[in-house]
Structure 1
């Protein structure tokens, strides 16, 4: 690969940037497009440069002995290209090499037979791939549980967590991050709360049934109610160690239902105790429908 014969062409728009880098193919001697980038809804524009380039048309010879090695991923495959991702504000038109900043300062290997298509093709399908990840929806918790009282606040909270995945898409290494962003609580009695960015949290036992939280609910009827919470995950993805890009869409996952048994309280004056008469009102052997 004649890396010192690289050329670069780019075009900038108001909301996106397209960049295509070309290199001379080591076998055919033809100019081969290497990468196409289309980044929307992002304040920065992105591109990559060879690891050992020091100026637009100059290669740092002293860098070459320590250049990152990118062997084929499989026998007979193509070698990768040692590159460094860079970024600059979209408002900066036609930035020079010295105005571009390394995203993470670390070289990475770029692989693809037709790299001018890979990022655009991944971007076109990333939401579908994101929604197929085995993301854990977490659980719904309630205080008190499983029994609560009619007319008193029951504290609900979700415990979904951020999760990361490393997958292969179109032969490229893709790192995805799923982050819970909002929650919709369904209390099982026909009422719900959300979407809300508030996940809730546990409170001390002495505050159960007396202190209302921002995610608590008051049941007006007795009975058994299947409560759930749906967590809405947003995501980012990066290709071959490149910049983290937002995924345009969410992954909405509901937890398994948890049955809340809502009881009511009754008071009465009694003359006996359970030792003298185990069948007396409110003794363990005494029962009445809730």
Structure 2
């Protein structure tokens, strides 16, 4: 439900709806053992379900549903303080000022710097064109936002403006020789992105976990490490691997012009404001970095009938 509303309205629409209702929780049945479950006696699944249903109804009716959407425009949700503590039937100041003698229901404590969400109320009307609404009726008590927010999904994660991984090519000169090729490396630094989920602040941390190097000539290399610079002063001997351990590179075998790219796969976790536990995101995101175009040339050694492509360890190569 949240996903459908997001797809239709975008982030701005979701936040606008959240501003109106901010939290929607439902009166839930008891757990299977007969005891109240979840938050303040409410089962977590029912809390999330009613949140989504109320959010979708509110967005349809107040963000474009209009008179043509009769089912949606017959109901409205709103947050408001719960008063008249001594009365068995909950009332709210949305309808009338709270009696001084009764006061207000004490709000929950949600953590340092985290504001609670007031009790949820609902009202109905007989027809989409009617200006007369029934009094507000109680849906659920005040609650902490982190207890009712849906999870931050992989789809949400992929919408973040992740910064593509920086790439350092060696040599930096775009003109290379056949058989010698290009060495590349990047970083494994995570990046934090402050954002919101239905208007509630959180921080998403993206960490690179896989790197796919496409060298532009049909050759690809996938690693779980970012690579290292080609060591200064490294002496290459016949029979040695083309590149030392940990170095990522490609000895282009053919003349031509190529544009290498790096695709980084990121895993994510998020931290709700006022909490200390990072929650994993079920899914990954990717970014792509385009490297400067390289041109591969051939070099012929002198005094011998050979070239550096066929014999990269020959004289002058």
Q: TM-score range by the shorter chain?
A: 0.5 to 0.7
Q: Size of the alignment, in residue pairs?
A: 186
Q: Distance in 2 between matches of 1:11 and 1:258?
A: 61
- Are 1:204 and 2:243 matched, yes or no? no
Ranges in structure 1 where 5+ consecutive residues have no aligned partner? 1-8, 13-17, 33-78, 85-106, 270-290
2:61 aligned with 1:27: no
SS in 2 for 1:174: strand
More helix by share: 2
> In the alignment, is the contact (CA less than 8 A) between 2:110 and 2:274 conserved in 1?
no
Q: CA RMSD in A?
A: 3.5
Q: Spell out, residue by residue over 1:178-235, the C-alpha distance to the aligned partner (whole angstroms, 9 max, x if none).
A: 11111111011101011x2111021334449864444221211121111011111111
Secondary structure in structure 2 of the residue aligned to 1:134: coil
Name the structure 1 match of 2:103. none
TM-score where L is the length of structure 2: 0.50
Shift of 1:142: 1.8
Change (3 A) 1:20 1:147: same
Contact 1:156–1:200 (CA under 8 A) maintained in structure 2: yes
Determine which of 131, 148, 153 is the counterpart of 2:158: 131
Question: Which among 287, 292, 305 is matched to residue 258 of structure 1?
Answer: 292
Gaps of 5+ in 2: 1-28, 43-80, 91-105, 121-142, 237-241, 304-317
- Equivalent position to 1:223, from 249, 253, 256: 256
Cα separation, 1, equivalents of 2:30 and 2:296: 64
Residues of 2 paired with 1:256 and 1:116: CA distance? 44
Q: Deviations over 1:225-256 (max 9, x none)?
A: 11011111111112222221000011111102
Cα distance in 2, alignment partners of residues 224 and 207 from structure 1: 27
Q: 1:109/1:141 Cα in 2 relative to 1: closer, same or farther (>3 Å)?
A: same
Runs ≥4 in structure 1, deviation > 6 angstroms? 9-12
Shift of 1:264: 1.9
Alignment of 1:4-15 (within 5 A): none
Q: Which residue of 1 aligns with 2:269?
A: 236
Change beyond 3 A, Cα 1:119–1:237: farther
| CA distance in structure 1 between the partners assigned to 2:250 and 2:157 by the alignment | 33
User: Where does 1:190-201 land on structure 2 (aligned, <5 Å)?
Assistant: 190-194=218-222, 196-201=223-228
